Amino acid sequence: MPLSPEASSSVRKRGDRGGDLVVAVFGHQRDGHARALIKRLEELGARASFVSLSASMFSTLHPRGVALAGFGSRLPDGVIVRAIAAGSFEAVTRRLGILHALREQGVLVWNDARAIERCVDKSMTSFLVARAGLPTPDTWAVEGHAEALRIARRETIRGPLVLKPLFGSQGRGLRLIRSASDLPEESAVASVFYLQRFLGGAGPEHSDFRVFVSRGRIVAAMRRRAAHWVTNVKQGGRPEKVNLDQSLARLAIRSAAAVEADFAGVDILLGSDERPYVLEVNSMPAWRGLQSVASVDIAAAVAADFLDRLREGILARRIG
């Protein structure tokens, strides 16, 4: 089977450990998370290589209809999606299409395109988490300034709202809406206003939880403390080791299940009523901050769960 240069070198390094699974990580060699995944996959006996999603292509002439650089006429047994790089609406749609196509061709995709779509679009995550009966702050997602204005006028009487970019991540672009006049112009939010009840305290310190779930169990968790109400590690939040209580653990696991994510980073905030609320579910979570306080190797846990699932699928197909 033709493999990329990185893949063939990994096969040589692997020696004769009997691994028969060929897997790809959609991500970049520069990304420590992707490198850690490759390393752990190889240690567990798989042949693992980096693959660029943007360089993968649809081709009706290809025997499988979709071609991954370095894989020739074949496809890997499974892929882990570490990240989908920013791009135009068309480019990202095409990359998600590649992930959909891989699933159609029997390749195990973690996370699957459907889970990624559900999590990248914060309005869909809110819908699914609420539909699953899980606590989440009251949320509205509307198009157009006029509709956002109506909601902000009505809801800010009871307290502030948070405006989030629909496709936002790492705490970028969040705004506190204390009154309707704080709403930005339509052009600043691509006409989509995702508004959520602000459940943060008055400060001076703020905190929330990040819980990493894989295959329906907790891998690691942290409390993030920050001087600002946006607690993302990328925005200066400080990770702190935490012993997760059962109710938070269950909530995180049920949240990942609500969006059908194989692995996920779930953000949970304790409201002033001391109850936990799900803020969002990340289908392509970074874990550098979390790893700094975690006692388990997160990449190793994801790699092991993924390979177990892959082997189970192959076994089931053989038996079936």
Ligand X SMILES: Nc1ncnc2c1ncn2[C@@H]1O[C@H](COP(=O)(O)OP(=O)(O)O)[C@@H](O)[C@H]1O
Based on CB atoms, which residue is closest to ligand X, 54 or 235?
A: 235
Based on CB atoms, which residue is closest to ligand X, 111 or 231?
A: 231
Task: Choose among Mg ion, ligand X, none what residue 200 binds, the Cβ cut-off being 5 to 8 Å by kind.
Answer: ligand X
Task: Choose among ligand X, Mg ion, none what residue 4 binds, the Cβ cut-off being 5 to 8 Å by kind.
Answer: none
Give the interface segment with ligand X, choosing from 60-68, 75-83, 98-106, 162-170 (CB under 6 A).
162-170
Q: Identify the helix (H) or strand (E) that includes residue 223.
A: strand 217-226
Contact flag: residue 198 with ligand X (CB under 6 A) = yes
Cα–Cα distance for residue pair 238/232, rounded to 1 Å: 8
Based on CB atoms, which residue is closest to Mg ion, 77 or 267?
A: 267
Q: Which two tokens stand for residue 226?
A: 């920050």
Based on CB atoms, which residue is closest to ligand X, 42 or 280?
A: 280
Site residue total, ligand X (CB under 6 A): 23
Strand partners, 22: 47
Task: Choose which of 76, 137, 276, 285 interacts with ligand X (CB under 6 A).
Answer: 137
Based on CB atoms, which residue is closest to Mg ion, 209 or 306?
A: 209
Task: Choose which of 112, 155, 262, 280 interacts with ligand X (CB under 6 A).
Answer: 280
Based on CB atoms, which residue is closest to ligand X, 67 or 290?
A: 290
Task: Choose which of 49, 156, 214, 231 interacts with ligand X (CB under 6 A).
Answer: 231
Helix axes 89-104, 113-120, angle to 10 degrees: 150
Peptide bond into 239 cis (omega under 30): no
292 vs 94, 164, 228, 240, CA distance in Å? 35, 27, 21, 9
Cα–Cα distance for residue pair 49/45, rounded to 1 Å: 13
Contact flag: residue 42 with Mg ion (CB under 5 A) = no
> Which residue is at the shortest CB distance from Mg ion?
267
Contact flag: residue 199 with ligand X (CB under 6 A) = yes
The answer to whether 78 touches 109, Cβ cutoff 8 Å, is yes
Contact flag: residue 170 with ligand X (CB under 6 A) = yes
Cα–Cα distance for residue pair 13/132, rounded to 1 Å: 45
Contact flag: residue 306 with ligand X (CB under 6 A) = no
Burial of 138 (0-12, 13-18, 19+ CB in 10 A): middle
Contact flag: residue 160 with ligand X (CB under 6 A) = no
Beta carbon of residue 257, minimum distance to Mg ion (angstroms, whole number):
18
Residues 6+ apart with CB under 8 A from 12: none
* Position 61, amino acid: L
Contact flag: residue 279 with ligand X (CB under 6 A) = yes
The answer to whether 33 touches 82, Cβ cutoff 8 Å, is yes
Beta carbon of residue 6, minimum distance to ligand X (angstroms, whole number):
30
Q: Which two tokens stand for residue 189?
A: 């939010």
Strand partners, 142: 193
Residues in contact with ligand X by the rule CB under 6 A: 137, 162, 164, 168-172, 174, 196-200, 208, 229-232, 267, 269, 279-280
Residues in contact with Mg ion by the rule CB under 5 A: 267, 280
